[in-house]
Structures are given as C-alpha cells and as structure tokens.
Amino acid sequence: MKNILFIINPISGTGKHKTVENIIHEELDKSKFNPRIVYTDGPFQATALCKEAVEQGIEVIVAVGGDGTVNEIGQALVGTNSSLGIIPTGSGNGLARHLKIPFNIKKAIRVINQYNLRKIDTATVNDKVFLSIAGIGYDAFVAKKFSKSSKRGFFSYFRIVSGEYPSYKPRKYVLKVDGKTITRRALLIAFANSNQFGNNTSIDPKATIDDGYIDLCILRRIPLLLIPFFVPLLFTKMFHKTQYIEIIRAKEATITRKKGKTMHFDGDPITMGKKLEMKVNPLSLNIIIP
C-alpha cells in the first residue's frame, strides 16, 4: 500500500475543490493507497508541504488545483522517486490537457488508481522550475493582471487579454540558443514544454513533453484588425503555421531583455531579472497519466 497525499488549493479556478474531498474518499482504491488530505492557505505553501511529504517517504503527491498548484508541487518532486498526480480544478489546466487527464474528478481519481507512471521533462529558468509553459512579454503581463483579478475562469482571462492588447508594445529580446545569437522584437516568447497554453489553446501543437527540448515560441505582434481571424487558430492547433510565429527548439538558451520584469511559470507571475538562462531537465519527473 502506498502513502498518498492530496494537496488541495481551495481558491483555485472553478470551485470543484468544494466536493473533491468526499469524492476522494468514495473513489480512491483503499487497497492500494493510504490517503491524507491537506489544504493550502497561501502562495508557495504547496511546495513546502510537498517537500515535507517527500522527506517523510510519501510515494504519491496529488495536486488538486490549476497549473500554478501543479507547478508548486511538481517543482518539489523533480529528481525524486515520488510521483505527481493531478486532479485539475483550475482555470487553464494546460498540463492536464496535454496529458489527457480527465476534468471529471471521479475519472481523475480512477486514473490515479491505475497508477500508470510516465517520466517527463521539466525545465528551469534561472533555477526556477516549470513543467508545462513559461513565458515573457505579453502573456506574463496578462498573468500578472489575472493574478490580481477577483474573478477566475476563461472569460475573466479573455477579458484581460482583449482589453490590454491594443496598448501593449512589443519588446526587444536577444536570444542565444545552442551557441547562435539572434535578436527579435516580440510580443511574447513562450517556453513550451507541452503543447498547451491552457483552455485548450495552443501556439505549438508539436511540443513534446519527453523529447529533451523546450520550444521557444517567438510571437510577433498581430495587427489588431486581424485578431478575429487568428484567435480561432489557437483552438484548432493551426496557429504555428502563421507568419507571426517562429519556433526554435533548444536544450539551453539565454534570453536578455532591456530590464527585469514579470515572467510567468505555468501561469504564475514572478519578477525576474534582465538575463534569463533556460535549461531542460530530461525525464526528471514521475507523473501519473491515463
């Protein structure tokens, strides 16, 4: 029997956490798992709880929340023998979508019962871990705005994206990728380990989570009048074929910008410096998948 810890973020996303504890007790296979459930009450507490659980020898830690909660827990599991499970209850749920983990809580717990493990890549920027997507520029700017919003969910996020876009100016970035230096003026640069931006949108459908590479997605500003024609391409996984995006695969990269600003890690905004050093950690995290 394996010891399993469920870490629940009670303010995440869509409010599913209100019923999840009862469903865990109903659906979890108690012949395989000895469960414990805890709730977070502030930022980064999930990381501390997870580190403590690893030290106690708990084999499985389950993130109940969105991409930010998954990141907080996953970063403490990188390079350990413990495994990450996901019950997605957030707004975007990018990593869960990429791995095809069900959004129905009962079905997500049944995936955990099956205990099918896969090793995936993780990556760091200036030693800060991300699992799915990190980014600088406009998406980081939006992530910061969204983190301060009292309303969660897709429509709140979309309102910020559409409202701020007309006034946001592209920035200049110098990239050194595998020894080659290039300069780009970009709306944003996404560091894609998975193919999911969240909410089933994708600017890089070919991104693979266990290939040893991160895809640097460099997006130029799209003219405002053309936006209605390009937004649907994010949902149909065709955006990468447009002239406005350049994708460079990298194991290591250094990005330099004019000054330190916000960067997001799996949707959570964090202030970082001018110089950003990205590295891939191949097959460094055990995760439960369908």
In a domain, 94, yes or no: yes
Cβ(255)–Cβ(261) below 8 Å: no
Say how far apart CA 174 and CA 46 lie, in whole Å: 34
In a domain, 272, yes or no: yes
- Sign of the Cα pseudo-torsion (232, 236, 237, 243, in order): negative
Q: Same structural domain for residues 104 and 161?
A: no
Q: Same structural domain for residues 152 and 274?
A: yes
- Tens of pLDDT along 112-147? 999 999 999 999 999 999 999 999 999 999 888 877
Q: Same structural domain for residues 161 and 277?
A: yes
Q: What is the pTM of this model?
A: 0.88
In a domain, 197, yes or no: yes
Cβ(131)–Cβ(268) below 8 Å: no
What CATH number does residue 111 fall under?
3.40.50.10330
- Tens of pLDDT along 2-59? 999 999 988 765 555 568 889 999 999 999 999 999 999 877 899 999 999 999 999 9
Q: What is residue 190's predicted lDDT score, i.e. its pLDDT?
A: 94
In a domain, 289, yes or no: no
Largest CA distance in the chain: 58
Q: Same structural domain for residues 137 and 199?
A: yes
Name every residue whose Cβ is closer than 8 Å to that of residue 226 and which is 6 or more positions away in sequence: none
Strand partners, 63: 7, 86
Say how far apart CA 23 and CA 113 lie, in whole Å: 13
- Tens of pLDDT along 148-171? 776 766 677 778 878 888 999 999
What's the structural domain count of the chain? 2
Q: Same structural domain for residues 48 and 104?
A: yes
